Amino acid sequence: MESCKSLSGKVALVTGAASGIGRAVATNLAGRGATVIATDVNADGCQALAEETRQAGGDLRIVIADMLSQNWIETITADVAEVDLLANVAGILDGFAPVDEMTDALWAKVFAINVKGPMQTMRAFLPGMVKKGTGAIVNVASIAGISGTGGGAAYTSSKHALVGLTRNTAKMYFRDNIRCNAIAPGGTITGIDLTMSSERGRAAIQPYFELIPPPATADQVAASVCWLLSADASNVNGAVLSTDGGWSVL
């Protein structure tokens, strides 16, 4: 059986690859032999990742695309026909804003990146997976996707939606030998903006920070993504794997 240590011959698309978890996932997959397509809006971060990967002997190319642009997915599909593995990592927070502080613009932006983006990548590449009769997808949700903590109203709602999207996709495509899972990280050392711009949000969340486990490294979270994408997890489908150091059981 193919091991997580070998993904040779696989083509993997990673969104949000310029920094944090996405960067670690892209590096991880390339180190295991996959051909990685790394996409992000951050061109400098992608270029640095590509250079480091080449120096390490990995196979990685970049596609610069902005999820908030109307035709961002066409930018990717014009360059990438089919993939075997898909890691939807890109995501943003919302300043921990509660409902009465939520603007329509912030709500739309968070859902565009955290939910619409993963839907669009899956919609674009699932037909190719169906044609091949195989594929694996991992969506990066959050502890906020299985509880009411970890973010504001938009972020929490978007991650709940991403969990639902993951489970529905797993159900719809399991007969095509396509697996779709999610991970739910807790605190993670990444490039995501953790600013608590909402006073109410800060007051509600901050007292719990002393109780929750220390933040994980991006590499620790990426290892879980790699496992779910590999054949080592061939019997795991529709799961939401908590990678939170135990936060969800506190």
What whole-number distance in Å separates Cα of residue 56 and Cα of residue 103?
44
Residues marked active site are found at 155
In degrees rounded to 5, what are phi and psi of residue 215?
-65, 145
Single out the residue of 182, 162, 160, 78 nearest to residue 113, CA to CA: 162
Q: 216: Cβ–Cβ under 8 A, 6 or more apart, which residues?
A: 185, 186, 187, 188, 189, 243, 244, 245
Under 8 Å between Cβ of 119 and 162:
no
Question: What are 40's strand-pairing partners?
Answer: 64
Under 8 Å between Cβ of 129 and 135:
yes
Strands (E), the chain: 11-15, 35-40, 59-64, 85-88, 135-140, 178-185, 188-189, 216-217, 240-243
Distances (CA, A) of 203 to 151, 199, 209: 12, 6, 11
